[in-house]
Amino acid sequence: MKKIILITLAIFLWGGTEAQQKSEQLGIEVRPVTLDFAVTPGSSSARKIFVTNALSEKTQFTVYVNDWRRDTIGSHVFTEPGKDPRSCALRVSVDKPFFELEPGERQELTVTLQEPLDTLSDLQMNWCMLFIETVKEKKLGAANGFKTTIANRYRVGVHVYQTPPGVTEKEIRLVKIEPLANAANRYRVVCQNTGKTQLQCSGYIELFSLQDGSKIRIPSQEFPLFPEQIRYLDFSLPEQIAKGKYTLTGIIDAGNDVALEAGQVTIEIN
């Protein structure tokens, strides 16, 4: 009896800024990769996405949704659809959840979001991730009685955001600034989105020497922030920084229509 070994190679593609992300690598092209909805309770809205098979052979695709969040360092954490209190996964439908494309062929998909009327009493931003994934397997043949099959699975995530009209409050809070344990001259700025919409933020720190009045600005970090989300920003001070006392100011900029948030501590470099 021949033994069959199944080797699955799963490749998950999402990267760059979410507004500009392009999934042109590794054989799948999906555009756009962000769908922004503003559906009122009791109504629905539809958006189009386009999937192109850039592989060299006929390929089958499946479409499905997952819940997800960003953790404190910005990584994606996925969970079952409909479990997260901020999920809109069960409100999202696709007209073609399974399709097949020849090389170079493109498929148009219609993504519909139905907002239930009962959400009127608790208006909030919700989100989910829509995945387009290949399902074609490649058989490599048999050697020494073993048959090997590699499933080259390529997956692209489309961010789906639902922000009902009227949900517009934007607010950011700098929670604290603290030194990192067991890491010399490294500091963490902790911030939280205390508003009701997603924010695109920039965080940085500035050093002011209490000896000679010189200033140093550490390069900023760009990041999105969901409502309620807490984010850690870790910064390293310059290696050749002069010894002495400094005022360290952490600054979070969430855009022109949101007040800057800042915090300050006094540190000493030995």
Given 162, 187, 205, the domain boundary residue is: 162
Q: Which domain holds residue 220?
A: 172-269
Structure tokens at 186: 């490294």
The helix (H) or strand (E) run that includes residue 264 is strand 261-269
Can you give the CATH number for the domain in which 122 is found?
2.60.40.10
| Shared domain check, 55 and 135 | yes
- Ranking 67-71, 116-120, 125-129, 186-190 by mean pLDDT, the lowest is 116-120
Q: How far apart are CA 51 and CA 31, in angstroms?
A: 7
| Shared domain check, 193 and 74 | no
| DSSP E strand stretches across 89-171 | 92-94, 98-101, 106-114, 126-134, 138-143, 146-162
| Shared domain check, 153 and 42 | yes
| Measured CA distances, 258 to 35, 38, 88, 168, 200 (Å) | 24, 21, 26, 11, 11
| Shared domain check, 223 and 106 | no
State residue 49's pLDDT score.
98
Q: How far apart are CA 52 and CA 243, in angstroms?
A: 57
| Shared domain check, 183 and 66 | no
Structure tokens at 269: 């470099």
| Shared domain check, 215 and 189 | yes
Structure tokens at 222: 């760009």
Q: How far apart are CA 136 and CA 217, in angstroms?
A: 50
| Shared domain check, 61 and 154 | yes
Please report the DSSP string for 187-217 in residue order: EEEEEEE-SSS-EEEEEEEEEEETTT--EEE
Instruction: Evaluate if residue 119 carries a pLDDT over 80.
Output: yes
**pTM (two decimals):** 0.84
Could you tell me if 203 and 187 are in contact, meaning their C-beta atoms sit under 8 angstroms apart? no
72 within domain boundaries: yes
pLDDT, tens digit, 9 for 90 and up, residues 133-186 = 998 666 666 656 666 665 668 999 999 999 999 999 999 999 999 999 988 899
pLDDT, tens digit, 9 for 90 and up, residues 212-221 = 999 999 999 9
| Shared domain check, 194 and 176 | yes
- How many folded domains does the chain comprise? 2
Could you tell me if 227 and 197 are in contact, meaning their C-beta atoms sit under 8 angstroms apart? yes
